[in-house]
Structure 1
Amino acid sequence: MSTVSVPAELPAEPPADQPPFRDPALPLGERVDDLLSRLTPAERIAMLHQYGPAVPRLGMRPFRTGTEALHGVGWLGPATTFPQAVGLGATWDDELLHAVGTATSTELRAFHHHRAPALGAGRHSLQAWAPVVNLLRDPRWGRNEEGYSEDALLSARLGDAFCRGMSGDDPEQLRTAPILKHFLAYNNEDDRTTTSSGVRPRVLHEYDLAAFRQAVATGSATGVMAAYNLVNGRPCHVSPLLESELRRWAEPTGHELFVVSDAEAPSNLVDPEHYFEDHAASHAAALKAGIDSFTDHGEDTATTFGRISEALGRGLLTAADIDRAVRRQLSIRFRLGEFDPGQGPYADTGWEAVDSPGHRALALRAATESIVLLKNGPGAADPDRSLLPLAADGRRIAVVGPLADSLFEDWYSGTMPYRVTAADGLRLAVGARGGETTVVEGVDRIALRAASTGGLLTAAGADARLVVADTQVGDEAAQFDLFDWDLGILTLRNARTGRYAGLVDEDRSLAADRVQPAGWDVHETFRLEPQGDGTEALRSVCSGRYAVLDPASGAVTMAAADASGAERFTRTVVRDGVAEAVAAAGGADAVVLVVGNDPHINGRETQDRAGITLAPAHERLLREVVAARPETVLVVMSSYPYAVDWADAHVPAVLWTSHGGQETGRALAAVLLGDADPAGRLPQTWYRADDELPGRLDYDIIKAGWTYQYHRAAPLYAFGHGLSYTDFALTDLALDRSRIPQDGTATATVTITNSGTRQGIGTVQLYVRAVGAVGYEAPRLKLAGYRKVRLAPGASARVGFPLAADALAHWSVSAGDFTVEAGNYEVLVGRSAADLPLSAPLTVSGPPPAPREVVGRPVRAVDFDDYADVILVDATPTEGDAVTPSGPSGTLHYRAADLDGARTFTAEVSRTAEGPARLEVWAGATLLATVPVPSTGARYAWTTARADLPAATSGVHELRLVLRGEQRVRAFRFDA
């Protein structure tokens, strides 16, 4: 039971000696102002660091911004662990995400009230750094596992639902304070602190901002974390969008957002990014741009304190700038109940909430409903029925694969209170049906013999330190299960300890004592590098050093800088993993083969994936097993989509699950054996292996062709795809009106019927598209709504979708706002972006788009309709974008520009190089002017370049600006 109680009633009058900020009856703003007035200037500055110190004279406790809570409470100890965020995204279920957020925040409260002191200073906060709503535009992104979807609407709705669960049901009192990550356009890990995401206005407003807007506008999110990268050449930590967009959206809620930095990002502004000359200037700029809390230098508050104090002394900041940020922090702390009697309404949360039976059941439900059935065809033995659900009564099921009997945590996971692997879940479920289960991981078990002494690498003693000992190959202490994760990256699990070998930092030795590869610097990954003579050198991926042997003691240390000084080992295969798997498959009635990724290897924070195909070792195992037993189910357990082209063509059944947390095995067993209907739907496109994906740093989803909205080639599995064990029919799509004005609303209704023989879950997906759009390149499809429906056999439901014209809008670069173009549209309903059997026409009435007015008004260069060979850059460090050629020249297109009366052309330009450069102005095929671009000596030193136009310039044309030579263009205008 809880040891903390809340008084049933607050006293009618606060005690005479109680300061006003302690009085919960006062308005929030008055309480914040009172407490702020009592803080000294130094105390206020100190609060700007992540680890805000206590103020004992006011009874204020230390405050840390940020506790990890992406899919359960992270880093604080055992807590309910839900599926990875991408798995939660696969549920397409707002209510479920709300429940997961509620459970997570309740456990976070329990840690706060019952375990925070034991965790140590600074380990815990009621501000939760979750969820991640960055859009999964590239399946190779190392942090793919952290986001919900490639679609802005789906991500926004799920993020809002999770935040509502985290913050609680009271708009003023917070259970926890969720923070959206990471603002903005952050989808690459390689060189993430120095790369710039080029985001033109249409992509910015229609896509990247759209994922953040709902949770901010509804007030469910209390803050935002800025991203590591730059956008259009400007670091996100000094982005004007923090104020011009995010905080503007939040204004109607009555609360300001509390914006935090990402770890070490404030220092990055000077060190790797070189955007500012010194840290005082960078911290001042970040604070003025809207950053309220600096996560930098770990628990060292003095460095940040010194930099901001220096900025204040140099006049780069004012006291008002500091007070503004402190006030935002205090507002969150008041709403969390910190200064209320009894610490507010959530302080009675009991410790029994952590890993409670209800939360275990929710974890099972989330893991089950996140599983996506990708393919379900007949097996060779019974061509008249689909292989799934598996018939297990009295049958032999082989559970095979490197992930068959392992559950992995990712970097942001909590510690699982228990683990039900795929093998565990199937053993229990198959055994209950009178069947038998055989488990084979399908990896080689090897021994490594040192060439210098002839001894074997062995896990010796209670501490499992690896030494070279005089023992036999049959000794389990000298045997290691070798897991091959691709690109030469291996993990070695000792047969005696059942634990993975890892580097010990203190003395550079190795110990086979790790539950799994983990940590920021993964110490459990190795390479066995051939030396050309049949031997191999053992190398630590973490340190880059090679194993050396002390022949006298047998001690092994990772000490050699190169292979020439390394011990050489000869590998002996004690057990052939593929052969063992093939034998198990041949003796079984069916096989469940589990492959995928380890979340800490070859794709994670700081590291993007090299490709999208399965590891060659996994692919080989798959093909060998299927040859031995065609009745094979492929389970891909992964943080990312994979190109499983061969499996789609040759394996009867394929399904995907993310790393689903503590209940993964029970969830898989329930779906595989038919106790649960597969309810998951893909939250992102699964591309084919030979599909040429856009470049990693091409953030323009429109021109590059990212996501289901713009990708041209047919995918392997489409966005929204997912099969069921029953059949759903969609019929009678109807719109209550077929014509609406540009600010109108229609309602779409459709009937979904379970026409199969068992209960199932159908997800009705509503899409829209423009027909014959002329003023802009419209998406091929755009998700406009979805609804999850549970139906018994034969049952039907009529599902309605309100459809505002806003769902048809695009960002007009000429108007600088969202616009619904008059014309024809289609409303489509189906089961995925590639399966849309029903459609209905919808006409939007209104005037046709007017030509772009360019005479007598400035036009921002970035407001182009199309482009070639240009890069978007910052116009100044604080605001504005500009355009520069990516090579010798670049071209900007502005459609339907009205040039009537134009007599002169003027452009705002800057240029650092000497020598000739020019800006050409074209109207269709006619060159109107050639404008010399002078050197201004600095990129932010802007000047105007002017040219007269031919007297006959008139009419509506496609306007082209051709930038020849090094230059930047911020804006231009025509004048009469």
Structure 2
Amino acid sequence: MTAHPPHTPPFRDAHLPFAKRIDDLLTRLTLDEKIGFLHQFAPAVERLGIPAFRTGQEALHGVAWMGPATVFPQAVGLGATWNTDLVRRIGEAVSQEVRAMRARDDRVGLNIWAPTVNLLRHPLWGRNEEGYSEDPKLTSAIATAYTRGLRGDHPTYWRTAPVLKHWLAHNNETDRAISSSSVRPRVLHEYDLRAFREAVEAGAVAGVMPAYNLVNGRPNHVSPYLREHLRTWTDEELLVCSDAGAPSNLVDHEHYFDTHEEATAASLRAGVDSFTDHGTDSSQMIARIQGALDQGLLTEAEIDTAVRRQLSVRFRLGEFDPRHDPHAGVTDFDTPAHRALAQEAAEQAIVLLRNDGVLPLAADTRLAVVGLLADECKLDWYSGTLLHRSTPLEGLYERFGAERVEFAEGVDRVRLKTSAGTFLHVLASESGEDEVRGAEGALDPALLAGRTDLPPLTTDATGTEFALIDWDEGVLTLRAPDGRYLSVAEDGYLRASADQPGGWVVQETFRLEPHGSGHLLRHIGTGRHVCVAADGVKVADENPEAGAKPETFELIIAERGEDAVTRITSEADVVLVVAGNDPHLNGRETEDRASLRLPAHQERLLRAARAANPRTVLALVSAYPYAVDTSGLAAALWTAHGGQAAGTALARVLAGDVSPAGRLPQTWYESDADLPGLLDYDVIGSRQTYLYFEGTPLFPFGHGLSYTSFSYGDLTTRVTEEALHVSFTITNTGDVTSDEVAQLYTRAIDPALPRPRRELVAHRRVTLAPGAQEELSFEVPLRAFEFWDVTQGRWRLEPGPYELLAGASSEDIRLRTTVPLDGEPGAPRPVCQRGLEGADFDEQSGVEIVDRTRVAGDAVTATEGRAGELLYRDCDFGDGVTEATVTVSGEGSVELSLDGGAVLATWQVAESGSGPYDYTTLGTGVGAEGVHDVHLRLRGPLRLAHVGFSG
């Protein structure tokens, strides 16, 4: 037996395996203490010397919500680097800052809720900025690198414990708490699960967070996939943390369960280990768990399982071994190395979309800079507070000299005239800006927004000239001459008090609504109109009879943005238009975008600049792709919001100090017409992403230009039992040192069923000096060529020829060869033995997948108001069948035919009145033999789970 120091319980013995220590600790905890651990804010157990623990610290691209920290480029920008080594180093820096900040503030948690690995399937998704790529291979590679950096290299103790978001198939903000993603088995396995699986298998992931939405009719927080897939990928205990408020959503919004006790028990049994609900107040969740126990819906053993997973993470974080924790003394924070890394990341994230030779700029270039983003360093919902900042304009001043750079923001300058003939006016503030500046002089938006110590707006005879910024979709902001945005505080008054638009509910946005001969001004955050009262300008009361009435304003335009642009651009050598988005507006968490188009106001500025000077360069700084015509531009670049060093990075690329080598992590489409519906998750059936898209993209996946040129050669391949070995050379044939991102794709040449047009299997970013050559070698596992065979419910490698394509993007292929691969030949569906699972179709129209039961399984149903069509190819009826059965619930009819011929069988289903999960099996005679395509037609609100055949 192991000897313990006197009076030291085994759970405190650092020489014992974690599993034994957790076993011991579980026996010492009371049931009430264990229940308390299941809330996000687990209380301390003072009698055992166990401190309080909080799951959840946001750190998507730097430490968020905890004040000043190093701010790296947005996640989609990190994806655009295609550089796993860089992203790993960023993860290391972020985790070091987490540890350093926690040493000063115990509110900072070590359980990191990052990265987001949801695939960027649809570019209108509001949270596009949070993901890495539309491609599962690239996403998992970047996510694995980031989590390895967050975890650290110590074999026992983790620096931080990363949790992947958001499990599963989550790409819409519209109705996100109630919408269901219909995900067919092939898409589930080949697309959505892959991004999570490879990161988990790499061993640096502590757990996952389920998403708000449902998948196939079942909420993610009670998903059987947690047990059936996630927990089979690793031997480590994984912690599943609920998303905020999601446990209550199961009853309050999704109405999936009748009581919170049922919902909580179902979540816990499905695999949720930590409940994030009701903020810091754990009492309601504790009551629900206790109620579930009292009702027999839960057992103490099931609670122990969840607590064990939590404790596993806490032990790995060194909480119980402070003397042995190698990360306990980490103090690295805002170091020169972290600042340099932020700049390196911002530089590597920049993508050169097109270039007619105007870039790089000569040192003596006279530059006109215009645009709403030119003097901005925008943050997003998951950013930390800036310690340092660099806008494009500031970077250009520093690099080229202020005397060579002229700037016009291009906003409309307006005054708002009241019906009484006065104008809105901003009173001077008695409190100075110094009072709201934080460490290192950083202006903290949190200290400015919602202030009530500043005077409200009033009216006078001359008024204030505001910068009116139109962000499209009728959303506008108004900025005072001192740079502060008009905002509405809780008292309802308008003040010039916000450094930037921001917050969960943005209070700095308005709409102008035509009314009579003028406009009403509606405040979007409250939904109320602006009125002028005796004590100041405010939003109208909820009860229109209670106070001042909405004011009708006349909009007086002092100068249009296009006029300012024209004034400074015609004499410049080069015009730089900096356009893009504000990450808090028109596309963010809770709000999807309506269109790919660039906001109309920014389109006007771009047209004005291009008309005045043909040497116009567009720099898009945005969280997502745009459909913008770049054909008449001298050059175009894109970067995500690049964090604290964004401006310096852009200026260095424009000047040629750095050759751009970022690559697009997702397809840029030409128009909204190229997009499927936002809620259409069938990437195969609707031909989504570069994997299946058959149109001509504006810019393809993997695209990005350079200031030099590269040649590819010497492609060789070798097949072994487990992998395909590929090598080729890259040579820098230009005269500039630059990075190249070599990309390796494959495609099945003659597949038996729809497969990707091409699919990324490997990539590498390398730096080459002029004339330098490097041989790149890749080992591609043969499983990368497999697909999910629905006829057998497993992965299968189809034998035959596969083309390998090496190049600089998914469409810029420089080398190709064909390799024959052995595999398992396909066979007709053995329907006499297995029947047909409803969701295992090959094609469908008007059908969605729903939950067979609340616990497990899938069924199919016709989408509301439509007849559904299902096709199952190559069904083998052997020597013949005489009967077919359907397992169904609800009411309606099912029709069966073969090869598109006449209807052979019809089942009429009568409503049982017992709910959607009350299935019945109905049979009818049918004659069939040999191999045929089976067609099913569904009519009415029935659910089809299975079709069986017998002789």
SS at match of 2:244: coil
Q: Provide the residue aligned with 1:218 in structure 2.
A: 202
Q: Deviations over 1:848-891 (max 9, x none)?
A: 31221111334311111112221100000000000112244322
What one-letter code is carried by the residue in structure 1 that aligns with 2:219? P
Matched, 1:792 2:769: yes
**Mapped partners of 2:633, 2:455: distance in 1:** 42
CA offset digits 1:699-751 (Å, max 9, x no partner)? 000111110011111100000000000001112222135xx7xx642211111
* Aligned match of 1:939: 916
Q: 1:579 to 1:923 in 2, by over 3 A?
A: closer
1:24 aligns with 14
**How big is each residue's C-alpha offset from its partner over 1:444-476, in whole Å with a ceiling of 9 and x where there is no partner?**
222223222524322433354332243535xxx
2:135 is aligned with 1:159: no
Aligned twin of 1:380: none
Partner of 2:930: 955
Q: Equivalent residues in 2 for 1:858-937 (5 A)?
A: 858-886=835-863, 887-913=865-891, 917-923=893-899, 925=901, 927-937=903-913
For 2:685, the aligned partner's letter is: K
Supply the distance in 2 between the matched residues of 1:98 and 1:968 (Cα, whole angstroms).
Answer: 46
Q: State the shift of 1:824 in Å.
A: 1.4
Q: Which residue of 2 aligns with 1:383?
A: none
Partner of 1:716: 698
- Cα separation, 2, equivalents of 1:446 and 1:98: 47
Aligned to 2:784: 807
SS of structure 1 residue aligned to 2:674: coil
| Superposition deviation, residue 832 in structure 1 | 0.8
- Structure 2 residue matching 1:736: 3-state secondary structure: strand
Q: Which amino acid aligns with 1:191?
A: D
Q: What letter corresponds to residue 45 of structure 1 in structure 2? A: I
Partner secondary structure for residue 428 of structure 1: helix
Could you say which residue in structure 1 is the equivalent of 2:97? 107
Provide the identity percentage: 49
Aligned to 2:339: 360
User: Matches of 1:512 and 1:888 in 2, distance apart?
Assistant: 52
Distance 2:895 2:538 in 1: 66
Cα contact 1:133–1:211 (8 A) shared by 2: yes
**How far apart are the structure 2 equivalents of 1:343 and 1:401?**
53
What per-residue deviation string (whole Å, max 9, x for no partner) do you get for residues 179-232 of structure 1?
A: 000000000001001110000000000000000001111221110000000000
- Greater Cα offset, 841-850 or 91-100: 841-850
Alpha-carbon separation, structure 2, partners of 1:964 and 1:907: 17
The counterpart of 1:447, out of the listed 415, 419, 422, is: 415
Cα distance in 2, alignment partners of residues 805 and 293 from structure 1: 37
| Cα separation, partners in 2 of 1:467 and 1:890, compared to 1, 3 Å | closer
Equivalent-residue separation in structure 2 for 1:412 and 1:966 (angstroms):
41
CA distance in 2, matches of 1:736, 1:55: 59
Partner Cα separation in structure 1 for residue 833 and residue 902 of structure 2: 21
Q: CA–CA distance in 2 between the matches of 1:341 and 1:167?
A: 17
Q: Answer whether contact 2:523 2:539 (CA < 8 A) is retained.
A: no
Is residue 75 of structure 2 the alignment partner of residue 94 of structure 1?
no
> How many Å apart are 1:917 and its aligned residue?
2.2
What is the 5 A alignment of 1:668-817? 668-689=650-671, 691-737=673-719, 744-774=722-752, 776-817=753-794
Aligned counterpart, 2:439: none
Alignment match, 1:274: 255
Conserved? CA contact 1:910–1:935, under 8 Å = no
How many residues align structurally?
924
Structure 2: runs of 5+ lacking an equivalent: 431-452
| AA aligned opposite 2:643 | G
Aligned-residue offset at 1:554: 4.0
CA distance in 1: counterparts of 2:856 and 2:937, whole angstroms = 24
Q: CA deviation at 1:921?
A: 4.1
For residues 344 and 288 of structure 1, the distance between their equivalents in structure 2, rounded to whole angstroms, comes to: 33
User: Aligned equivalents of 1:847 and 1:556: distance in 2?
Assistant: 71
**Alpha-carbon spacing, 1:616–1:888, altered in 2? closer, same or farther (3 Å):** closer
State yes or no: 1:40 paired with 2:30: yes
Specify the code of the residue in structure 2 equivalent to 1:403: L
What CA distance in whole angstroms lies between the structure 1 residues aligned with 2:540 and 2:735?
A: 61
Counterpart secondary structure, 2:234: helix
**1:419 to partner: Cα distance:** 1.1
Distance in 2 separating the partners of 1:78 and 1:905:
70
Which runs of 5 or more structure 1 residues have no equivalent in the other structure? 1-11, 117-122, 378-385
3-state DSSP class of the match of 2:344?
helix
Asked if residue 340 in structure 1 is aligned to residue 321 in structure 2, the reply is: yes
Using the TM superposition, give the Cα deviation of residue 435 of structure 1 relative to its aligned residue in structure 2, in angstroms: 5.7
User: Which amino acid letter does the alignment assign opposite residue 881 of structure 2?
Assistant: R
- The answer as to whether partners of 2:880 and 2:930 remain within 8 angstroms in 1 is no
Pairing of 1:377-392 with structure 2 (within 5 A): 377=356, 386-392=357-363
Pick from 40, 61, 67: which aligns with 2:57?
67
Q: Structure 1: how far apart are the matches of 2:637 and 2:612?
A: 20
- For the pair 1:543 / 2:526, whether they are aligned, the reply is yes
Q: Which residue among 133, 146, 150 is the counterpart of 2:134?
A: 150
Q: Shift of the alpha carbon at 1:908?
A: 4.3
Say which is worse superposed, 56-65 or 718-727, in terms of deviation.
Answer: 56-65
Residue in 1 that maps onto 2:489: 504
Instruction: Say if 1:720 and 1:312 are closer, same or farther in 2 by CA, change over 3 A.
Output: same
Q: Whole-Å Cα distance in 1 between the matches of residues 672 and 899 of structure 2? A: 40
1:312 corresponds to: 293
Q: CA deviation at 1:967?
A: 1.8
Which of 296, 303, 313 is the equivalent residue of 1:322?
A: 303
Task: Work out whether 1:651 is the aligned partner of 2:651.
Answer: no
Equivalent in the alignment of 1:834: 811
How much does 1:800 deviate? 1.2
What's the TM-score, normalizing by structure 2?
0.95
Shift of 1:340: 0.9
Contact in 2 for aligned 1:546/1:562 (Cα 8 Å): no
Distance in 2 separating the partners of 1:585 and 1:924:
64
- Mapping of 1:337-736 within 5 angstroms? 337-342=318-323, 344-350=325-331, 353-377=332-356, 386-393=357-364, 395-431=365-401, 436-452=404-420, 454-462=422-430, 463-470=453-460, 472-473=462-463, 478-495=464-481, 497-505=482-490, 507-533=491-517, 535-551=518-534, 553-559=535-541, 565-645=549-629, 648-689=630-671, 691-736=673-718
Cα distance in 2 for residues equivalent to 1:549 and 1:934:
62
Q: Which amino acid in structure 2 is aligned with residue 39 of structure 1?
A: L
Residue type at the aligned position of 1:705: R
Q: Kindly provide the CA deviation profile for residues 740-793 of structure 1, in whole angstroms up to 9, marking residues without a partner as x.
A: 7xx64221111111000111111110000011212x111111111101111000
**In 1, Cα distance between the equivalents of 2:349 and 2:537?**
47
Please report the TM-score for the alignment, with normalisation by the length of structure 1: 0.92
Partner Cα distance (1:13, 1:514) in 2 = 62
Would the alpha carbon gap of residues 888 and 604 (structure 1) be closer, same or farther in structure 2, given more than 3 Å must change? closer
CA deviations 1:285-325 (Å, max 9, x no partner) are 00000000000111110000000100000000000011100
Cα distance in 2, alignment partners of residues 829 and 932 from structure 1: 55
User: Match of 1:848?
Assistant: 825
User: Over aligned residue pairs, what C-alpha RMSD do you find?
Assistant: 1.8
Within 1, Cα distance between the matches of 2:265 and 2:413?
57
Alignment check: 8 A CA contact 1:182 1:227 kept? yes
- Indicate conservation of the 8 Å contact 2:88/2:145, yes or no: yes
Amino acid at match of 1:536: H
The separation in 2 between residues aligned to 1:455 and 1:684, in whole angstroms, is: 47
Q: Which whole-Å deviations, capped at 9, do the CAs of 1:328-378 have from their partners, x for residues lacking one?
A: 10110111111113371101111xx2211100000000000000000001x
C-alpha distance in 2, partners of 1:162/1:792?
Answer: 28
* 1:108-145 deviation line (CA, Å, top 9, x unaligned): 011111222xxxxxx42100000000000000000000
Q: Aligned partners of 1:596 and 1:626: how far apart in 2?
A: 17
Looking at structure 1, the residues matched to 5 and 894 of structure 2 have their Cα atoms a distance apart, in angstroms, of 75
Number of the residue aligned with 1:3 = none
- Within 2, Cα distance between the matches of 1:632 and 1:406? 20
Residue 679 of structure 1 and its aligned partner are, at CA, apart by 1.3
What is residue 5 of structure 1 aligned with on the other side? none
Deviations 1:67-122 (A, max 9, x none): 10000000001000000000000000110110111100110011111222xxxxxx
Structure 2 CA distance for aligned equivalents of residues 99 and 250 of structure 1: 24
Which amino acid letter does the alignment assign opposite residue 734 of structure 1?
T
| SS of residue paired to 1:269 | helix
